[in-house]
Structure 1
């Protein structure tokens, strides 16, 4: 794979066609790591309520979307709202929030630091 295929930046309305979900971000790799967060545990993209699009982080939304960010609504917590960049599994908001920072399907570790700003992604 060439360096151009390894990371991509997508802006609204384009989405990254390497993923089975609508995903955008800044320099996103195949595991959903971005220019802002790229450690081994930064392998989850979260869906925003405003547009239904997945982003590796809120900064990616801020930089690439053509609108303000809104968190995933509480009344939709049983719908897919998280995407594991390792196994490509889709998790409901409830599955994601109820886990201890790991994918329930493949066990991939998710960044535990994300807990401190979950309100940016999910309604309380």
Structure 2
């Protein structure tokens, strides 16, 4: 599947990009600053002219994480509870994304 609404650098049909392109790098995150999906914070930095604003906690009930394999959108709590697998298609997500969580959505550390 191809999701043309995901922006970034060399984004493939499953949302891998020039920066993160393993078989598990198949999620994209919506940024609150521009309401657009990017595969990673580096893609956002490369393709925009503004500072990235993570998805705010008061909007966690809105979908802001995209599975690049099946195009399912998830809320942040659903993504965090999914144990690094898409609840719809079971595609494996990269557990390494957890180390960048504060760049994509408000966490305790980013407040």
- The TM-score normalised by the length of structure 2 is 0.91
**Runs of 4 or more above 2 Å deviation:** none
Count of paired positions: 106
Question: What secondary structure does 2:87 align onto?
Answer: coil
Contact 2:3/2:68, CA 8 A, preserved across alignment: no
Report how far residue 74 of structure 1 moved: 0.3
Q: Structure 1 residue aligned with 2:79, among 91, 96, 100?
A: 96
* 2-structure distance, mates of 1:31, 1:23: 10
What are the ranges of 5 or more consecutive residues in structure 2 without an aligned counterpart? none
1:28-87 C-alpha deviation (Å, 9 max, x unpaired) = 000000000000000000111111100000000000012110100001111110111111
2:3 equivalent to 1:19 = yes
Structure showing greater relative contact order (alpha-carbon pairs closer than 8 Å, 6 or more residues apart): 2
- Aligned partner of 2:94 in structure 1 is 111
2:65 equivalent to 1:85 = no
CA RMSD of aligned residues (A): 1.1
Alignment of 1:67-82 (within 5 A): 67-82=50-65
Report how far residue 117 of structure 1 moved: 1.2
The structure whose Rg is larger is 1
- Aligned partner of 1:46 in structure 2 is 29
Report how far residue 90 of structure 1 moved: 0.8
